[in-house]
Chain A
Amino acid sequence: MDAMERRVFLKGASMGLLAFTVGGIDTLMTPGEARARAVPFRLLNGEEAETLEALGEALVPGAREAGIAHFIDQQVSVPPGEALLEARIVNVKPPFMNFYRAAIGGVDRASTTRSGKRFAALSASEQHDFIDALRQNKINGWQRPPGGLVYFVLRSDAVDVVYGTMEGYESLGVPYLPHIAPDKRW
């Protein structure tokens, strides 16, 4: 990593912020702040973002407000080597957007087939039942990526934005104990 990259990286990490584009200008903020300010998505379309927020919230309460859709949207827009996504740990092949687009599309197609509604429109108990079937690879007609993998990765993403930050540790009452502190939320 050259000096310029390292400075940029450390600036983002130490401030606990990601670069979101507002009015054509890259601005550092948390995904939750990006959501609150309705920052436009870079790659997700409106329906994809809506589904992703609904999935995240059903997986880990608080994920919607923490900005899971903005987090993933920002992360799939950067080079794979820069990404902070659990997807890279489980050998998902870049570009990571392909995985998320296929996963979100698969969820909405299956939800519509099962219930006549997209996932975001399901009731809480319907969403629960859907996810329970997804994690066990029991969605009829589901294709790739594997349902269990989609569940694992999206659940990890939701855990990341809700619990994986300094703020998340604080909400659990756990000391964060950083060496090099992501001194706000990351």
Chain B
Amino acid sequence: MATQAKLEEKVDVVIAGAGASGSTFAAVLARAGKKVVLIDNGPDWQLTDLISSDLWGRRIKPAGPPFILEGKQVAPIGYHGGWGVGGAALHWFANVPRLLPNDFRIKSEHNRAHDWPIAYEDVAPWYDKVADDIGISGDARAEQLWRPAGRDYPMPPMKTFKNGEVWLKGFAANNIRMVPAAVAMNSVDYKGRPACIYDGWCHVGCPIGALANPQVTYLGEARAAGAEVRAWSTVTRVLTDASGKKATGVEYFDRDGEKHVQPASVVVCASWAAQNPRLLLNSATDKHPNGLANASGLVGKYIMTHFTAVTNAMFDDDLEGAKGTIGGQFMSYERYAKTAHKGAFGSTLLVCGGAAKASGLTGIHNARPDLFGPALADFMKRAVKDFTRFTAACEEQPKIENRVELVTEKDEFGMPLARIVHNYDDNEAALWNANFEEGLKIARATGAKEVWQLRTAMPAIHLMGGTIMGTGADNSVVDSFGQTHEVPNLYVAGPGIFPTCGASNPTYTIFALSLRGAENLASNWGTIAG
């Protein structure tokens, strides 16, 4: 490994990470005429790499990520993480529920957790803009049961299938109104991208461009506007000047182990909620002895996830479970109020109608993880026709003890690995159990012939927090645009900046906040970039 760094030509913006948030920043800034470089640690995936197979689909996920997972309910890294250009958004399920107004003011309304420094109304226009940019199918007017009006989605709802429709009777019997799931997929041809063909392989990457992965949306736009992508390159430090008040670029290692320094006027850390804290903590200097932008001591703190209460069922019907989309066909915010479930606090989002394949983490065999041998073979034959499930996605409250921190062990580039400590508390367990109880009522009202749930371990999905936004360096790492409080030309983008996480899938909000932050940066370039 070389020790003398190769000095690259200075650019306007260097972005660590080419996933959802990095691609959005890149598109906005490249279109604004800035010279942009995205640096990503994995392959430069193309649509032709996205093979329809649970086995081959594992290639676009991390292999031995540099995290040590601790706690009773470990953080979701392997399945939910990204590896390579496109990041986790290359294999996202593309469910796009919004956060709702109550998510932004939990402290004010319930004296818990944090308020966001902005309101729903500040983000709503960006949700609308993202919908037009990337293409969303759904029924925005139906969602007005629970949220303020916005623009209609640019495409009508997706087609539905029996594996989703069979749940509707059960929800209705429990006074739960379901609406078409909002998804970032094409129900009709959109912006030169074809309509979905409902093959259910979304989770291993959509190669036809019907699903809005970065390659066919913001990353494609960024490249068209001149942004450069450097794959197989790992950013290890953000560099600052002698005063510690200005970021000067990043240090990274290429595939051959050669060290580079990429100077830039603005640095954006867009490497997901786990890696961004690791990067900032590893960028400590004498002016930032506890890690860059960490005067608050909150870099790495308040890691959050969602957890799911899944209800499984078998019906006397061929539900064509392998068809549809992996995310869902119907959704409901009916239990989204923070106190919707007695004795538990936090929002719940209900989703039904995801395709179920024969293998992979979400495969039907894992609906009965206790079965093996001939019993599993028998179950597989029945389940491929009769099986379906619905998911209650639940909100975790931020806890400072849930954290990312460096350890002494180092990776191949000499960068310390990170430990992620994550546990749920009694409140989360109560919310999980309440959703299971309601799930049974819903399922039994459908007429299903078998109903079961797995209550052995709380499954964590999505990773958020770790570099939360707030009003100042006393309570947060960044402001609502992702700009760090201490180093004005250093940004953090992605789910890490959420101060609370609601129960809605995070990627739509990642796009919206990134678009808002990037547009603000572009509009105030002279002040910020200096």
Residues on A lying within 8 angstroms of B by beta carbon are 1-2, 5-6, 9-10, 13, 58-62, 80-86, 88-94, 128, 131, 135, 151-152, 155-156, 159-160, 163-165, 168-169, 172-182, 186
- Can you list 14 A-B contacts (CB < 8 A)? A9-B59, A13-B56, A58-B372, A91-B78, A135-B372, A155-B372, A156-B365, A159-B363, A164-B360, A175-B322, A177-B200, A179-B52, A179-B207, A182-B56
Whether A86 lies near B58 (C-beta < 8 A) is yes
Whether B53 lies near A182 (C-beta < 8 A) is yes
Whether A59 lies near B53 (C-beta < 8 A) is no
Chain B nearest CB from A90 CB (Å) reads 6
Residues on A with beta carbons closer than 8 Å to the beta carbon of B199: 177-179
In the bound complex, CA of A104 to CA of B55 (Å) = 22
Question: Which of A2, A164, A172, A179 counts the most chain B CB atoms within 10 A?
Answer: A179
Considering the complex, which residues of chain B in the window 35-76 have a beta carbon less than 8 Å from any beta carbon of chain A?
42-46, 48-56, 58-59, 61-65, 67, 69, 74
Considering the complex, which residues of chain B in the window 357-378 have a beta carbon less than 8 Å from any beta carbon of chain A?
358-361, 363, 365, 369-370, 372-374, 376-377
In the bound complex, CA of A81 to CA of B60 (Å) = 9
In the bound complex, CA of A156 to CA of B384 (Å) = 17
B323 at the interface (CB under 8 A from A): yes
Given contacts A1-B44, A59-B373, A94-B63, contact A172 B53 (CB under 8 A): no
Partner of B54, one of A13, A62, A164, A180: A164
Residues on A with beta carbons closer than 8 Å to the beta carbon of B44: 1-2
B525 at the interface (CB under 8 A from A): no
B381 at the interface (CB under 8 A from A): yes
In the bound complex, CA of A61 to CA of B371 (Å) = 12
Residues on A with beta carbons closer than 8 Å to the beta carbon of B49: 1, 6, 9-10
Considering the complex, which residues of chain B in the window 184-208 have a beta carbon less than 8 Å from any beta carbon of chain A?
197, 199-201, 206-208
Partner of A59, one of B61, B69, B74, B376: B376
Whether B55 lies near A88 (C-beta < 8 A) is no
Residues on B with beta carbons closer than 8 Å to the beta carbon of A168: 358-359
Residues on A with beta carbons closer than 8 Å to the beta carbon of B373: 58-61, 128, 131
Chain A nearest CB from B84 CB (Å) reads 8
Residues on B with beta carbons closer than 8 Å to the beta carbon of A13: 51, 53, 56
B79 at the interface (CB under 8 A from A): yes
Partner of B380, one of A82, A91, A172: A172
Nearest 6 A-B pairs (CB), nearest first? A164-B359, A178-B52, A177-B199, A1-B43, A80-B63, A94-B64
In the bound complex, CA of A89 to CA of B65 (Å) = 10
In the bound complex, CA of A156 to CA of B362 (Å) = 11
In the bound complex, CA of A93 to CA of B323 (Å) = 34
Residues on A with beta carbons closer than 8 Å to the beta carbon of B74: 91
Whether B65 lies near A86 (C-beta < 8 A) is no
In the bound complex, CA of A59 to CA of B376 (Å) = 8
Residues on A with beta carbons closer than 8 Å to the beta carbon of B323: 175, 177
In the bound complex, CA of A81 to CA of B45 (Å) = 13
**In chain A, what residue has the closest Cβ to B198?**
A177
Whether A180 lies near B365 (C-beta < 8 A) is no
Residues on B with beta carbons closer than 8 Å to the beta carbon of A179: 50, 52, 197, 199, 201, 206-208
Chain A nearest CB from B233 CB (Å) reads 13
Chain B nearest CB from A170 CB (Å) reads 10
Whether B58 lies near A84 (C-beta < 8 A) is yes
B279 at the interface (CB under 8 A from A): no
Residues on A with beta carbons closer than 8 Å to the beta carbon of B42: 81
Whether A82 lies near B359 (C-beta < 8 A) is no
Given contacts A91-B67, A159-B365, A168-B358, contact A135 B58 (CB under 8 A): no
Residues on B with beta carbons closer than 8 Å to the beta carbon of A10: 48-49
Whether A160 lies near B380 (C-beta < 8 A) is no
B77 at the interface (CB under 8 A from A): yes
**In chain A, what residue has the closest Cβ to B369?**
A152
Whether A86 lies near B361 (C-beta < 8 A) is yes
Chain B nearest CB from A97 CB (Å) reads 13
Whether B322 lies near A163 (C-beta < 8 A) is no
**Mask of B315-330 contacts with A, CB within 8 angstroms, 1/0:** 0000000110000000
In the bound complex, CA of A58 to CA of B506 (Å) = 40
Residues on B with beta carbons closer than 8 Å to the beta carbon of A174: 322, 358, 384
Given contacts A177-B199, A179-B201, contact A85 B58 (CB under 8 A): yes
Given contacts A61-B374, A83-B63, A159-B365, contact A180 B207 (CB under 8 A): yes
In the bound complex, CA of A157 to CA of B511 (Å) = 35
In the bound complex, CA of A62 to CA of B197 (Å) = 32
Considering the complex, which residues of chain B in the window 3-56 have a beta carbon less than 8 Å from any beta carbon of chain A?
42-46, 48-56
Whether B322 lies near A177 (C-beta < 8 A) is yes
Whether A84 lies near B55 (C-beta < 8 A) is yes
Residues on B with beta carbons closer than 8 Å to the beta carbon of A81: 42-43, 59, 63, 83
